[in-house]
């Protein structure tokens, strides 16, 4: 299913160290197509699992998502999220 304006988007990462879930410090950054930043709701539901959620409120280009982990696990990743127009918004 496509990402549509008006939806809530979720990104999840699982951090491991030597094959086991690992606690770390995680920061999320989400950038709208116009370059403004979103402050996602970030949770840590269990050791090693980190989740960010935000509302898609613009549809005129790609959204950029980045996570950065520091501490016992040092890692980062980026993803581009495409959003389609919705006839309802």
The reported pLDDT for the residue numbered 1 is: 57
The boundaries of the domain holding residue 59 are: 3-84
Query: Is residue 49 in some structural domain?
Result: yes
Are the beta carbons of 47 and 15 closer than 8 angstroms?
A: no
Instruction: Write down the mean pLDDT value for the chain.
Output: 92
Query: Is residue 76 in some structural domain?
Result: yes
Query: Is residue 52 in some structural domain?
Result: yes
Give pTM, 2 decimals.
Answer: 0.87
Q: CATH number for the domain including 71?
A: 2.60.40.1930
Give the chain's domain count.
1
Structure token pair of residue 65:
């998502």
Q: Report the range of poorest mean pLDDT among 35-39, 57-61, 76-80.
A: 57-61
């Amino acid at each position: 299913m496509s990402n549509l304006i008006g939806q809530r988007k979720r990104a999840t990462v699982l951090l491991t160290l030597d094959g086991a879930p690992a606690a770390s410090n995680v920061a999320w950054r989400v950038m709208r197509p116009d370059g403004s930043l979103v402050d996602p709701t970030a949770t840590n539901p269990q050791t090693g699992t980190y989740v960010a959620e935000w509302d898609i409120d613009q549809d005129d280009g790609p959204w950029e998502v980045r996570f950065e982990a520091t501490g016992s696990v040092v890692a980062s990743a980026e993803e581009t999220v495409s959003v389609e127009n919705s006839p309802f918004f």
